[in-house]
Structure 1
Amino acid sequence: MVQTRFKIGNVTVRLIQGDITEQDVDVIVNAANSYLKHGGGVALAIVRKGGEIIQKESDEWVKRNGPVPEGEVAVTTAGKLKAKYVVHAVGPKFGDPEGDVKLRNAIRNSILKAEELGQSSIALPAISTGIYGYPYERCAQIMADIVKELSPSLNNLKEIRVVLWGQEAFETFRRIFHEKLSGYTSSCD
């Protein structure tokens, strides 16, 4: 497994090239749509590995609360995954004039929800970079900024993993995180 680590205050930030469903963390973040229909990409992989209970709980969540607005999150259990929770983050489609703000909110709200749930570790994918078309570079810039901003104030979360599928995504995130987090301790495996 290829990874890069940074230490920001009491939080270890790891960039990992791999499968988010294999991560041994408390919270896995799903790149979701507003209706929490998990039919493709990261969402489908999470339901396949975690079981249909995740889709069932997602359907119940939407039934009770309505569609999840872009930039916001919903929470379900994690079924058969190693995690305890799945935070379903709704990112924007690339080209939306408010897209960067919505993506920033989706990432921020995911991390803050894990903190609120009292969990110590979270794994995030590159939200909105799949069928929603966000460039890896822009997502990485936004995510690095949010991680840098939030890490010093986190009490429960001790590890933030950014799990990237494929070499191109990993290399882009690694380059951007090295640029944005250059003053922090880093190491590569």
Structure 2
Amino acid sequence: MNTIVINDTTIEILVNKIIESTSDAIVIPTNSRLLPSGVVRCEVLKSAGAQVQLECNRIINKIGVISTGSAVITSAGELKSKHIIHVLGPNMGQGKEGKKLMLATWNSLRLADKRNLESIAFSPISMDHVGFSPKISAEFMLPTIKKYITEKPRTSLKKVELYLPNLPEYKEFERVLDKMKEN
């Protein structure tokens, strides 16, 4: 576990499954139709129960598809968290992937802030099955989180966690977090 505090918000990285989070909201990657895909999303939806996918289906029926960088929120069903933020990160090869990953991260934080949530837990966006390395994911997500907190000193968010599935991925995020501590 490694942390940094910016203003009154703690950013923490840890090795664990996102379904174990007790944060107000967890952030998971999605596709444009909010359907099950990827290891993390499928595990979360299975653990949350059918209600969450029904909510996703209602959102899609109302708005159509979501675009890269967009985030929507549902209940968390049977999970320990209260909400799930479903975010569409970029695929490698789309062009401007870094900018799109930053947008996806920013929009997830903004959505949590709009709901006055105090804690949010991210699963790395775009790392599951779309080609982003842990290094690239860390180098875009963590600075975006720092920038959001710095530019929004009155944010409702008091804790931002990043759940990494294993130690090698954790080490990449830790390297970036340690650099942030120096600046």
Shorter-chain TM-score category? Answer: over 0.9
Confirm or deny: 8 A CA contact 1:140 1:176 kept in the other structure.
Answer: yes
User: Residues 42-94 of structure 1: CA distance to partner in whole angstroms, max 9, x if unpaired?
Assistant: 11111111111111111111110011101111111110111111110000111
Confirm or deny: 8 A CA contact 2:69 2:104 kept in the other structure.
Answer: yes
Task: Specify the alignment match of 1:119 in structure 2.
Answer: 117
Secondary structure, counterpart of 2:102 in structure 1? helix
Secondary structure, counterpart of 1:62 in structure 2? helix
Secondary structure, counterpart of 1:33 in structure 2? coil
Equivalent positions of 1:1-189 (< 5 A) are 3-152=1-150, 153=152, 154-183=154-183
Letter in 2 for 1:156: S
How much has 1:38 moved relative to structure 2?
1.6
Distance 2:159 2:114 in 1: 15
Distance 2:37 2:144 in 1: 28
What is the root-mean-square deviation in Å for CA atoms of aligned residues? Answer: 1.1
How much has 1:99 moved relative to structure 2?
1.2
Distance 1:158 1:57 in 2: 27
How much has 1:40 moved relative to structure 2?
2.8
How much has 1:155 moved relative to structure 2?
2.3
Confirm or deny: 8 A CA contact 2:22 2:80 kept in the other structure.
Answer: yes
Distance 2:11 2:105 in 1: 14
User: Residues 143-188 of structure 1: CA distance to partner in whole angstroms, max 9, x if unpaired?
Assistant: 12111111131421000001111111101110111113324xxxxx
Confirm or deny: 8 A CA contact 2:47 2:78 kept in the other structure.
Answer: yes
Letter in 2 for 1:81: L
User: Residues 84-134 of structure 1: CA distance to partner in whole angstroms, max 9, x if unpaired?
Assistant: 111100001112212111111100000111011010000001100111011
Secondary structure, counterpart of 2:13 in structure 1? strand
| Structure 1: runs of 5+ lacking an equivalent | 184-189
Percent pairwise identity = 26
Secondary structure, counterpart of 1:181 in structure 2? helix
Number of matched pairs: 181
How much has 1:12 moved relative to structure 2?
0.5
User: Residues 1-57 of structure 1: CA distance to partner in whole angstroms, max 9, x if unpaired?
Assistant: xx1111111000100110101011100001111110123311111111111111111
